[in-house]
Amino acid sequence: MKHLLTLLLLFTTIIVFGQADPGDYCASDSLATSPPVSLDKSAHPFCNLGVPDIVNNCKEVYVKVNVHFFVNDDGTGLTAGNGASNQLEQRDVFQKADDLVYFANQYMEDISSNKQLNQIPWGADTTSAQCVGLRFLLDEVFIHRDSNMDLINIGGHNDQYVGINYRDAYNILAVDIRRASGYAPRQGRYMVVRSFDQQLIVHEFGHSLLLEHTHFGNSNGDDNCFDTPWYKWEYDRYGDGSVIDSKKTCWNVSNRDASGTDLCTPNGTTVINPHPCCDSSTVNNNVMTYSAAAQSGSIAALTPCQVDIAMTELLKEKCDLIAAIEPICKPVSAHIGYKPNTDFSQDCSWTFYLRGSTNETEHRISYQKLQPDGTYSPFLDSDWLPGRAREERVVVGDDPYIKHGTVRLPSNSTYIMTLTTRNNCDTDHYRVEFTTGACDVGDQDDSPNPGPFHTEEFQAYPNPSNGPITLEYGIASSAEIEIYVGSNATNSFELIADISGYKLAGSYHHQLDLSFLPNGAGTIVVVVDGYPFYKQFVKQ
């Protein structure tokens, strides 16, 4: 009963207050169909599998996706820097790609228990809730130096990013688009989106799998489905037979006319019949609309006909993109990202971003070093580390050691870094090969490049202290923060977990309880993306 009430409230809200967002527009209809890709089906294990078995048994089908971001031609700046949406700091795109996949998958899982509404009033075939087994698995995250792609026209500039180099995964291009929220050519292998809205992502993916808008037409209309209803409204406002044929959809509309008259409440004079869209049964919840009702995973739906079309296209024409079908648990992926201006042979420090890895519960990081005889030998190897892979900050210099997640690598050497991720039933790895330059930062506490940390804001007071001590620090951009406190005499440090974690840009103040420490000299360590900063204090 509670669910029904929620639904009714939502529909009421949409009809009374809802207005279409003029930017909420998918431009796929204006694009030519993408040419089919010739596929060697014998080379891919999931080609030629039967659609009915997968659909009827609600099997999950994981599709590999790449997410592409674009920055200035010189490699600097925010993503989509010339646009007005999709702006991100470069360091944040890897987590964003992981989030995009996570929330789109959640949406597809959620809509699996939902039924297409309003089939009866509009004369469509009535069907029950349709399971949606489509899932994404993040493959690669790219940051391209290409300011032409920041802000593009509908259908523009996409070819090089969906060419041969990226054809082994489905491609999501995160840009800003003039006059549209997104588009995806029918039958194509990419979408272009200006937001990470989960319905938009699934909607555009639907176009790539031959789904059409369920906007107009009749119940067996231009989307080739009999179970997607018709939504064009006609209105005889004055009861005199003069029908307004709006050719408009019955969602995201106001219940008032231009002069403010309530069209849902007949008054015997200016409103004889209520507007057809006042009836909540007219609201469309289909993913392939722009309806506000389709935004929510708890309401949106695809129909059996639509899922059959999509799965058939996927298994017939895009089976090379499938990573797994009905795996025992969610497949994992590993990814090592870095900013486009990272120059391994020149930089004294840089960050490897590991957040584009997906579904892992453990990870490990290893480095192999190239030997004079041309072979690689183990150099550093972490144990299995619990949790998600996050960041790895590398410093180039002699005397290799690991301290608080920072890796120090000798200069003028070639390495293969391997990230391995796993969960209970799957594992993946990703490798990057690079050669360090002549840089030597030496064994010092401060780096030439403090990253986002504001060293001048870093304070601990009172000092000396006979009670708690106040820690202040600031970061210029979001960062993974770990705060340790320890005694210099025992050289043991405790992670203060409740104030550690992923933090947004800003200034932070914490009162640290020192009662667990012996009197004497101690150290506070603030680790910013794996790079440590130290503050000495005395406990009295």
List interacting residues with Zn ion (CB under 5 A): 26, 28
Give 177 or 354: the residue with its C-beta nearer to Zn ion: 177
Give 30 or 412: the residue with its C-beta nearer to Zn ion: 30
Give 286 or 296: the residue with its C-beta nearer to Zn ion: 286
Q: Which neighbouring-strand residues pair with 521?
A: 538
Report the nearest approach of Zn ion to the CB of residue 248 (Å).
17
Give 153 or 281: the residue with its C-beta nearer to Zn ion: 153
Dihedral of the alpha carbons of 101, 102, 107, 110, in degrees to the nearest 10: 140
Give 26 or 131: the residue with its C-beta nearer to Zn ion: 26
Report the nearest approach of Zn ion to the CB of residue 206 (Å).
8
198-208 and 93-110 helices, crossing angle to 10°: 80
Give 29 or 73: the residue with its C-beta nearer to Zn ion: 29
Report the nearest approach of Zn ion to the CB of residue 211 (Å).
8
Cα(469)–Cα(467) distance, rounded to whole angstroms?
7
Nearest-5° angle of CA 279, CA 285, CA 288? 135
Closest CA relative to residue 28, chosen from 230, 233, 289? 289
> CB of 255 within 8 A of CB of 262?
yes
Report the nearest approach of Zn ion to the CB of residue 270 (Å).
36
Report the nearest approach of Zn ion to the CB of residue 134 (Å).
16
> CB of 202 within 8 A of CB of 100?
no
Cα(89)–Cα(477) distance, rounded to whole angstroms?
8
Give 26 or 132: the residue with its C-beta nearer to Zn ion: 26
Report the nearest approach of Zn ion to the CB of residue 138 (Å).
23
What secondary structure letter does DSSP report for 423? Answer: -
Give 26 or 315: the residue with its C-beta nearer to Zn ion: 26
Report the nearest approach of Zn ion to the CB of residue 213 (Å).
5
Residue nearest to Zn ion (CB): 26
DSSP per residue, 214-266: -SSS-TT-TTS-SSSPP---EE-TTSSS--EE----SSS--SB-TT--BTTS-
Report the nearest approach of Zn ion to the CB of residue 90 (Å).
29
Tokens of 443: 């064994």
Cα(282)–Cα(424) distance, rounded to whole angstroms?
46
Report strand pairing: 170-174 vs 234-235.
Answer: unpaired
Nearest 5°: phi and psi at 256? Answer: -115, 150
DSSP per residue, 131-174: ---EEEEEEEEEEEE-GGGTEE-TT-S-GGGSSGGGTTSEEEEE
Give 26 or 299: the residue with its C-beta nearer to Zn ion: 26
Report the nearest approach of Zn ion to the CB of residue 181 (Å).
9
Return the CA Rg of the chain.
Answer: 28
For 494, residues 6+ apart whose C-beta sits below 8 A from its C-beta are 484, 485, 486, 516
Give 290 or 344: the residue with its C-beta nearer to Zn ion: 290
- For the chain, the residue count is 540
Report the nearest approach of Zn ion to the CB of residue 233 (Å).
20
Tokens of 129: 């809730």
